[in-house]
Structure 1
C-alpha cells in the first residue's frame, strides 16, 4: 500500500495556510469532534490545493486524450505503414455502415419482424467505433473536434433562431472535487509527536476504524509546553500525517489514515495550549 507523496509531504507553509482557512474566527479550544473535523478539513484543503489533478491524464479533456492515445495506438498498430487519409475515410464509412446495420436489426426487432437480433450493447459499441474513427479522420487535417463542434452547433442555432448554445468551458476535463475519507489506526510502535517518518498501514494494529470510534482517553499522549496560536496550529497540522493510501489513480475519494498516537497527542496539545492561554 504505497504512501502518497503529495499528502505525506505536509510543509509548515501548508499547515499555516490550512490554519488560516480552516480556523479563521474559531476559538483555539478543540473538542474531540473538532480534532476529527480538523483531520477531514486538512484532507479537503490538500485535495483542493495540492491534488487538483490526481494525474495529468485525469485533467486532460476527453477528446484531447482520445486524439493523443488514438494516434499512439494507430502508430503502434500499423508499425510505420501509414495507410493515409483515404483508408481512414473508408474505415469511418465502414463503422457507420455497421452502426446502421445494428439500427436496422433493432428496429426490426421492435416491430416484431423476423430476423437476426442485436443487443443494445452492440449499438453502443458501434457508436464508440464511429467516434474513434471520426477522430482518426479529423486528425488528418488537424481538426479540433471540440472547437469545431461547438462552433458548428452554435452557428446552426443562430441560423434557425434558437437560443441553445454550447460553452467551451463545459467538458473541459477539469477533475471533479475529490472527497475525503478519514480513518484512524493504532501504531505498533509509538513515535514522538512531529516525527516525520511515515509508516504503512500494515505497521498498525487492528482494522482502521471510523473517526467516530476513536477512544477518548489520553493514554500515551505526548505533552508540549505553551505555544502561540500560530505555532500550535502549524504543529498540529504537521502532526496529522497520512500513513497509506490504497486508491487507484483517478479515484475521487482520498482515504486518509491518521496515526492514533498523533490524535491523542494533538488533543493533549490543545489542552496544554488552552490551559496556558487562561
Structure 2
C-alpha cells in the first residue's frame, strides 16, 4: 500500500493521478488528508482516505498502519515544519513503514549563511534523520517549480521589464507536473532504495533568458534589470508592494548561484526530455 501525504495539494493530486495512469490500482493507494470533505474526489476514485495531521502524532500512527511506501511531502508551515517532520519520521518508524520517499529541496549552499536557510533547515535535518533512522529512503531534491516564474517576474507585459535582484544567477526550475510524474515512477517501481535524485531541469536559466524568451514570444521588448537588494527593497517600499520575505530569499539565493544545479535524473525516470523554460513561457504568454 502506498500512502501519499498532502494528497489534496497540487503535487499530491498530480502524483496520485500519475500513479493511477501507470497502472497502480486505486485500492493500493491511500491519501493522507486533514479534512475528509476536501478529499471527496479522491474517495470517488476508490482511494483509501486517512485522516491525519503532521501536528498530531497519534493520527499519524493510525494513518501509517499497514503502509509499505510513504510519499512524505514536506510541510508548508515553515515555522513548525522541522518539529512536524521529526514527528512524521518517528511515526513512520513506529508503524513499520518499509520505504519513505521524501520531497526535499535543492540548493548548492545548505547552512545558516544561505538566504534559503528558512526553507532548507527542515530539509537538511529531515534528510539526516532519515539516513540515521534505519528506514529505507529515497530523497527527492526538488527545485523551484517553473509555474512560479510568472509570479516572481510580475506583470512584465505592462511594465516592459523584469526587476529582480537576481544578478546573473540562474535557476534550473522544472514543471511541477513532471516532478510529480517522476515521483510516481519511483513509487510504482523498485530500485530506488537509499538514493537521492535531483529533481531539477537539465538546463539552468537566468532572468536575461526569461526576458529574451518573452520578447520573442510576444513581440514586446522586455528588459531585465537587476538592482541591489537595498534598491529592490526601497522600490517595493516606495510603491507600497508587499512581497513575502521567503520569495525575496529565493531570488537572493539565485543571485548567489544556489539554483544552478542541473541534472538528467528526472529525464531518465520519465523517459523523455523535460519541458524547457521557453516552451513553458510560450504556453503562458503566447499571443492569441
Question: With structure 2 as the length reference, what TM-score do the two structures score?
Answer: 0.17
Question: With structure 1 as the length reference, what TM-score do the two structures score?
Answer: 0.17
**Greater helix fraction, Structure 1 or Structure 2:** 1
Which structure's CA Rg is the greater one?
1
* Structure with more contact order per residue of length (Cα contacts < 8 Å, sep ≥ 6): 1
